[in-house]
Amino acid sequence: MNSQYSRTQQFVNFMQKIVFLHIVLFLMRRFYFLLEKLVPKDKRIALFFLTEKVYFDNSKYLFEYMREKNDFNSILFTPYKSLYHKLNDKFPGEVVYSWSLKGFFLFLRTRHVILSYGISAAAFKPYYLHEKCKNIIYLGHGTPMKKMALQTPPWRKYAKHKQLQKYSYMAGCSPLEQIIHAAGFNIDMNNVWVSGLPRNDYLLQDINLSPSLLVANPFLDRKIILYAPTWREEGYKTHFFPFGDFDAKRLSNFLEKEDAYILVRGHKEDIKRKSVEKTHDFFSIDRVLKADQDRFPDVYELLPYVDVLVTDYSSLWIDYLLLDRPIIYLPYDLDEYKQYKGFFIDFDENTPGAKSSTQKEFITHLQRYFEQPQTHAKWRKKIRDMYHTYQDTESCERVFQEIKKLN
């Protein structure tokens, strides 16, 4: 009887703590919201909130563009101490550590917050982003053909709409992306800018090869195949080289003959959660190398060295279209993926490249693309024009001009 009373009392005490914590958080948010309203905002501050532990993607390219302008005081804002020190060495006086009094007061004074990745609770403590207090500008990190956020079954299944961060404005590449983002993030289509993404300016520059990358990785002057599948939120784990006839020796011989390398880049969420199906010992092949963020923090610096991209449903291929190079798709779990994620448009008709279901087909398709890289060029152009309204190096400038218009 006493033990039952003890367990009941423990449960009551636990629930009291939970209720107390919720009350404290509620009061803190109310107080924070009041501070946001009271502190005057400086519209000349552009705060780039780096929610990831790596300096890369659209925020990187837009920051480096805007810091050369006189219209804004562009600041990198990070909750990660190691990243802060690294960036402060490169951009002294232009980086602020978010877990500091300076960071707290700077954030309150800021009108424009710019980010490329979703809101992470760990990354944003103690800050509270609200579109009524700030212009929250989401540059995104993928041009989608698949359904996004509110349109996907997992979001509905786990009621994630209650956690959805509201954005004030988003950047996109085409009217199609306006529709996809508006539906996925419950945002007015007119607030999705058809500007192009800042990182794509780098791909389209006349000189877009990073010499330091080549010095560190001499194999990049050979034929390079980048294998970059998407992250699977549901369903089975990512399965690399999903071939029933996988033959490491045959693949190795082909790569040797072609003097080619396959760089395997798992999605960062797969690497973080170790959600990869290790069916084959493909890293035993000398010419199959890891290409994760430790080796190549910014995949957009790597893409100009890539001769053939291999993927499944990753949005990386849509930006890669700007380079007009071959793409091979490995949609081994397409039916399952349609069920738990889904596409806005037909996958087969709108993925301009070979589809490989066996290793024999995969090698044949690689061979053909090496010999005739313009195979499927007309198809690629059709899809490229659908996804990219602009195919120039002015995306940073267009986003910059949109931000200048904001109050």
Q: CA 155, CA 118: separation in Å to the nearest integer?
A: 14
Listing from the earlier edge strand, what are the strands of the sheet with 223-227?
Answer: 288-290, 260-264, 223-227, 308-311, 327-329, 354-355
Which tens digit of pLDDT belongs to each residue from 33-92? 788 888 999 999 999 999 899 999 999 999 999 999 999 999 999 999 999 999 999 999
pLDDT of residue 235: 62
pLDDT of residue 273: 47
Confidence of residue 138 (pLDDT cuts 50, 70, 90): very high
3-state secondary structure of 223: strand
Which tens digit of pLDDT belongs to each residue from 106-116? 999 999 999 99
Residue 122: pLDDT above 50?
Answer: no
Alpha-carbon separation of residue 146 from 82, 271, 316 (angstroms): 34, 21, 12
Which tens digit of pLDDT belongs to each residue from 231-257? 887 666 788 999 999 999 999 999 999
Q: Taking residues 146-161, what's their average pLDDT?
A: 71
More confident residue, 13 or 226: 226
Confidence of residue 121 (pLDDT cuts 50, 70, 90): very low
Helix (H) or strand (E) holding 136: strand 135-138
Centre a 10 Å sphere on the Cβ of residue 315 and count the other Cβ atoms it contains.
17
Q: Taking residues 339-353, what's their average pLDDT?
A: 92
Residue 4: pLDDT above 70?
Answer: no
Which tens digit of pLDDT belongs to each residue from 277-336? 555 678 899 999 999 999 999 999 999 999 999 999 999 999 999 999 999 999 999 999
57-71, 135-149, 325-339, 364-378: range with lowest mean pLDDT: 135-149
Question: What residues does 113 pair with on adjacent strands?
Answer: 47, 136
Report the mean per-residue pLDDT for the chain.
Answer: 89
Could you tell me the pTM of the whole model? Answer: 0.89
pLDDT of residue 142: 81
% of the chain with per-residue pLDDT over 90: 67
DSSP type of residue 53? S
Q: Taking residues 178-206, what's their average pLDDT?
A: 94
> Is residue 183 within 8 Å of 194, Cβ to Cβ?
no
93-97, 121-125, 171-175, 304-308: range with lowest mean pLDDT: 121-125
> Is residue 195 within 8 Å of 402, Cβ to Cβ?
yes
Residue-by-residue DSSP string for 253-322: HHHHHHTEEEEE---HHHHHHT-EE--S-GGGSTTEEE-STTT-S-HHHHGGG-SEEEESS-THHHHHGG
Q: CA 348, CA 124: separation in Å to the nearest integer?
A: 39
Nearest to 279 by CA among 248, 252, 314: 248
pLDDT of residue 308: 98
Q: CA 236, CA 323: separation in Å to the nearest integer?
A: 32
Confidence of residue 269 (pLDDT cuts 50, 70, 90): low
Q: CA 159, CA 179: separation in Å to the nearest integer?
A: 22
Residue 172: pLDDT above 50?
Answer: yes
Confidence of residue 152 (pLDDT cuts 50, 70, 90): confident
Residue 148: pLDDT above 90?
Answer: no
